[in-house]
Structures are given as C-alpha cells and as structure tokens.
Amino acid sequence: MEYMLLFCETESEAAKANDPVLSGAYWGAWGAYVEAVEKAGIVVSGAGLQPPHTATTVSIRDGQRHVQDGPFADTKEQLGGFFVINVPDLDTALHWAARSPAASAGLVEVRPVLPPMK
C-alpha cells in the first residue's frame, strides 16, 4: 500500500539547512534517511520543497480566484518535503516516518494514498 510521508519542521529547524555551522549535521541526517529509504526499495516518489515564503496559495471564493503570497496556514511547522512509499501496512509506514529527522524536531504526517480513479 502507498503512504505519503509529509515532513514538517519548525522554522528554526529548517534554518539549519543554510547555517554554516549546523548545515553539515542537518544535511547528514537527511542524507542518511534518504539513503535508507532508497536502499529499502520503498520509495515511489518524493521531493524537498522550497521554503514557505516561496509559496503561492490559490482559492476560489464566490466564483473569484484569490491568490495569496506565502502558505495559507499560519502554523509553527512548515512542510519541507515528502515521500510516497510503498510498504505492506500502516505500522511499516509509521516506522519509516519515525526514522525521519523531521520526527524529532517537528512532525511527520502519514496518509494513505488514494488508488487511481478508474
């Protein structure tokens, strides 16, 4: 079954990616995690995302398109990236989510992926 792992980090944790002192440990942890899921052969797709300030949010209200710079939700954590993995069950997906660096400094949301519509 396919599950999406949504990696959410606090702004301070995400800032480590560009910090000259902290970036080595930050990217080292993510590199090890990416290598582990790829080696396990469970990755369907995945990508990191640009920071939230690069986002544009679109909504339709009363038939009118509204465009807002930045993310819609005002939250403490920001979506930093995702993997879609193919594993036997939710327990296995939760295992891989817990191994993510985001789990210790933010959160990882795990959702089953809907099957394709026919």
- Residues 5-35: pLDDT tens digits? 999 888 888 889 889 999 999 999 999 999 9
User: Could you tell me how many helices (H) and strands (E) the chain has, helices first?
Assistant: 4, 6
Residue 21 lies inside a defined structural domain of this protein: yes
Is residue 84 in a domain?
Answer: yes
Domain count, the chain: 1
Residue 117 in any domain: the answer is no
Structure confidence by residue, pLDDT tens digits, 73-83:
556 678 889 99
- 107 within a domain of the structure (yes/no): yes
Write down the pLDDT at residue 69. Answer: 79
Range of the domain at 100: 2-112
Q: Is residue 118 assigned to a domain?
A: no
**pLDDT, tens only, 41-71:** 999 999 988 887 788 888 889 999 988 876 6
pLDDT of 84 > 90? The answer is: yes
Residues 6 or more apart whose Cβ sits within 8 Å of residue 75: 8
Kindly report the pTM of this predicted structure: 0.84
Distance between CA atoms of residues 31 and 64, nearest Å? 43
CATH code where residue 46 lies: 3.30.70.1060
Whether residue 57 lies inside any domain: the answer is yes
Q: What's the rounded Cα separation, in Å, for the pair 13 and 77?
A: 9
CA distance 100 to 104: 8
